[in-house]
Every structure is written in structure tokens, then in C-alpha cells.
Amino acid sequence: MKHSRRKFLKTTAFSSLAATAVFNGISQTIPSLQKQENGSPDKKVFLFQGDSITDGNRTRNNDWNHVLGHGYAYLIASRLWYDNVDKGLMFYNRGISGNRVKDLEARWKEDALDLKPDVLSIMVGINDVIAVVENWEPATIEQFESSYKNILDQTKNNLPNTLIVLCEPFMLPLGWVNKKTEIWQTEIKIRQELVKKLAENYEAIFIELQKPFDEACKKAPADYWIWDGVHPMPAGHELITRLWIEEIKKKIPGLK
């Protein structure tokens, strides 16, 4: 499994580099991220942070055909942009495949605080579970909590008016999870409960995802929603999108 994961990450990295090389050649014809950032001062900025589920194989250049990735972050942005043309919304995706909470902590100023989001959505934790299950330099739950609290404290101190959204880590009994189901269930439940508690303590929106995915399996098999136990299928990303938008609309008046 470790060998397969390394192979997958190398392939993904090569593909991303190749895409960057191609699009850098036509970057002058594409609206730059900097120009978008310097737009209307009244716009509301949305930032998605997390791991591969958020990353969605996004590009790292000015290619707006791919810059938001192909997952729930892209779906949310496309819907809200379309339905709120007059609101001056802006969306950024800074998810990075393979990231754990400590990785977000290490890049928080540049990839979160400096973007000054009005809405900050975080989905992280599944790689922390994988690290424990596969014994890949695992962090204790105390270390997980400390890093998570640190990024939330930084956000609250520097951006007190930012609306924070914490997405529950989730899984289904497929792929990796099937090999060591019991430890997966134990480790993810601890982190699910902690993320929910942090949402309460920091007055953040909590997006429950495990129960909705479990209930979705009554409509269709698990692999209809998540292909490997961890990464959503298109229908799984749509599930996240609908739940996310539903909760955000309750907090932002006038958002369609």
C-alpha cells in the first residue's frame, strides 16, 4: 500500500508539473490570480483549505480552467458564482494532497491569513488517520488537537470577523479502510468528535459528513459515493457541496 501510494503521488506530481509547463506558455492570455485579488474591495473571499479531497488535482498557476480543482471546492464556487453574479464573490483553493493538520499549521500565514478570507473552510484529518493506521510517523491525538487549535487561534486573532467552517473527516468501508477497518473506525471517530468540539468552542460552522455518507449508502453502494474508502466519487463531492452550501446560506444573508 505504501509503494502504491508513493507511485500515485509521483504520478500526480508529474502530471501537475506537466500541466504547469504547458500553461505557463500561455499564461499571458489567462487572467492572473493577482488581478483577481486586487479586484473589488467589497467582495467576499472564500478559502478552501485541506488535503487531497480539497486539492482536487488543482493547478498551481493562473489556469482558471483548473485552478479550483475538480472536487467540492470547484462545485461550490461554480454554483455560488453563477447564482450570485452581483455579490463580488471570490474563491481560492489552497488544499494540498497528503497534508495533515501539522502541514496546514506550517503554511498557515501564507496560504490562509495572508488571503484574508471572509469565509474559511477547513477539511483535514484523514491523512492523520492514515498515518496512524499505516504507522507513517503518526501524531498523537494531543498533537493533532494542538495543531488544529493553533491554526484556529491564529485565525481568530488575526481575522476575528472570518466565518470558519470545519468539515468532519469521513470514510466508508472500501479500499484501504477494508484492510484494517477496526483501527480506522477508532482513529477517525476520535478526530471526528474533536473537530465537532473545536467547532463548538470556536463558534465555527460544523459540516457533519460521516452520517450523510452512511445514509447515502442506503440509496446506492458505498463505491458510488467514495471510490477507495477516502476520496469521494463525483456524487460524493456533490453530497459535500449541497451540505456545505445549505449551512453557509444560513449564516450569510442574501446568498443565493
Which 8-state DSSP code applies to residue 38?
T
Q: CB under 8 Å to 98, separation ≥6 — which residues?
A: 9, 51, 52, 127
Residue 42's pLDDT is what?
58
Q: Structural domain of residue 166, as residue ranges?
A: 2-251
Name residue 45's beta-bridge partners: 90
Is 40 domain-assigned? yes
Is 31 domain-assigned? yes
pLDDT digits (tens, 9 = 90+) for 50-94: 999 999 999 999 899 999 999 999 999 999 999 999 999 999 999
Task: Give the chain as a DSSP string.
Answer: -HHHHHHHHHHHHHHHHHHHHHHHTTGGGS--HHHHHTS-TTPEEEEEEESHHHHTT--SSS-TTTTT-SSHHHHHHHHHHHHTGGG-EEEEE---TT--HHHHHHTHHHHTGGG--SEEEEE--HHHHHHHHTTSSPPPHHHHHHHHHHHHHHHHHH-TTPEEEEEPP---SSHHHHHTHHHHHHHHHHHHHHHHHHHHHTT-EEE--HHHHHHHTTTS-HHHHBSSSSSBPHHHHHHHHHHHHHHHHHHSTT--
Is 46 domain-assigned? yes
Type of residue at 195: V
pLDDT digits (tens, 9 = 90+) for 198-232: 999 999 999 999 999 999 999 999 999 999 999 99
Query: Taking all residues of the chain, what is their mean pLDDT, rounded to a whole number?
Result: 87
Is 256 domain-assigned? no
Dist. CA 125–CA 146, nearest whole Å:
13
DSSP reduced 3-state for 206:
strand
pLDDT at 9 over 80: no
Q: What is the mean pLDDT of residues 36-59?
A: 82
Q: What CATH number has the domain bearing residue 122?
A: 3.40.50.1110
pLDDT at 6 over 60: no
Cell numbers 493553533 label which residue? 150
Assess contact for 68 and 58: CB atoms under 8 A.
yes
Cell numbers 499505516 label which residue? 134
Cell numbers 498557476 label which residue? 61
- The tally of domains found in the chain comes to 1
pLDDT at 36 over 80: no
Is 52 domain-assigned? yes
Residue 179's pLDDT is what?
87
Residue 250: its H or E element: helix 234-251
pLDDT digits (tens, 9 = 90+) for 147-191: 999 999 999 999 999 999 999 999 999 998 998 999 999 999 999
